[in-house]
Amino acid sequence: MPLALYALTVGAFGIGVTEFVIMGLLIDVSADLGVSIAAAGLLISGYALGVVFGAPILTALSSRWPRKTVLIALMVIFTIGNIACAIAPNYETLMAARLLAALSHGTFFGVGSVVATGLVAPERRASAIAIMFTGLTVANIAGVPFGTWLGQEYGWRTTFWAVAVVGVIALAVLTIFLPRDDSEPEPQDWRSDLATMGRPQVLAGLAITVLGYAGVFTVFTYIAPVLTQVTGFSDAAVSPILLVFGGGLIIGNLVGGRLADRNLDRSILLTLVALSLSLLVMAFVLPEKGLMVAMVGLVGAAGFATVAPLQMRVLEKAQGAGQALASSFNIAAFNLGNAIGAWGGGLAIDHGPGLSALPLVAAAFPIAALVLFFAARRYEHKGQSRDRLAA
């Protein structure tokens, strides 16, 4: 794999840390800025909304730019956003800074996915996407715990200064290692890009992404109370178990990329089935501590094994024109799935069967994604049959 691909991985690592590290610093932020923990938690929701709305808008606005220029500009925005977080004097400014940093997220992964597939041979495109997303998984297993420790020891602002330094490093390696701008294809007009989004295959791919990932975050958002209140682990045991989850993310991400390189549709089928089954099994082993640790790792692996195949499917269905925009929309779809999963899990806890039923509620989402996937395949096959008859 070329060094340029690992340059993208560095950027993905920094973005992953800034997205998730706030979860471990909510108490520190709320105490320092004089807001409730619930209000501090909205900094997570604000970031997710910034990704959902920023991804398609920034991708469309930058559609005429060379992709290397786009990625460098995004990393500048990311770095400035984290510096603004570090110096924010109040809650409102911090929220605005989080929104600014989030704007770079979706477009970076969207455009980065297109660039990554262009750096390797056609039969390794999904693996290239997986390697870029490895930065996100490593951020979860290493960057976020370290950032949380750093913020708790030296103040939460120190963590954002550290992430800004990562942004500067990513900016440097992207500038050095990405191919020259004149070696890249001419950027497409945003109007033709937007027309691509109306294709049924692209819309179906986005919906499958939302449903599949909603299942992961229905459980993951509330994994700490599930482990402590249902399974019976101590609070101190949660962090080591989350490392198992992070290890599962890394393994699943790379396996999903390899599977997608061999057969894209089969990889989507297998990963969604694996995610559905792992969530269903988790529902029945909640009281068993040893089995629960194993299932946390399996859910992480199965959940992130879907990422490269789902991203690759949307890229393929976009078929050239509009790939960057479709790819960015799919990143927004992942984040929309996060938000829907967290919302659905909260409903189940407050107004439904409670924490012990979360894995069953979560499994409904990837099962629905499987139904939609089969429906989309059937639609595509009918369209191909009509084309053959017309020919």
Out of 132, 159, 185, pick the residue that ends a domain. 185
Domain assignment of residue 289, given as a range: 188-391
Is there a single domain that holds both residue 144 and residue 107? Answer: yes
**pLDDT < 70 stretches in the chain:** 1, 37-38, 181-198, 319-322, 382-391
* Cβ contact 132:112 at 8 Å: yes
Q: What is the pTM of this model?
A: 0.76
Is there a single domain that holds both residue 214 and residue 247? Answer: yes
pLDDT digits (tens, 9 = 90+) for 253-273: 888 888 888 888 899 999 999
Any residues with CB less than 8 A from the CB of 107 and at least 6 apart, and which? 54, 55, 58, 59, 62, 70, 74, 328, 331
pLDDT score, position 366: 93
Is there a single domain that holds both residue 197 and residue 329? Answer: yes
Is there a single domain that holds both residue 233 and residue 328? Answer: yes
pLDDT score, position 184: 46
Is there a single domain that holds both residue 273 and residue 377? Answer: yes
Question: What is the DSSP code string of 241-304?
Answer: HHHHHHHHHHHHHHHHHHHHHH-HHHHHHHHHHHHHHHHHHHHHSTT-HHHHHHHHHHHHHHHH
> How many whole angstroms separate alpha carbon 311 and alpha carbon 118?
14
Question: For residue 140, how many other CB atoms are within 10 A of its CB?
Answer: 24
pLDDT score, position 62: 78
pLDDT score, position 183: 45
Question: For residue 260, how many other CB atoms are within 10 A of its CB?
Answer: 29
Tally of structural domains, the chain = 2
Is there a single domain that holds both residue 371 and residue 355? Answer: yes
Quick one: which of 211, 212, 217 has its CA closest to 359? 217
Is there a single domain that holds both residue 34 and residue 173? Answer: yes
> How many whole angstroms separate alpha carbon 297 and alpha carbon 195?
40
Say which amino acid occupies 235: D
Residue 212: CATH number of its domain: 1.20.1250.20
Out of 185, 218, 253, pick the residue that ends a domain. 185
Is there a single domain that holds both residue 8 and residue 131? Answer: yes
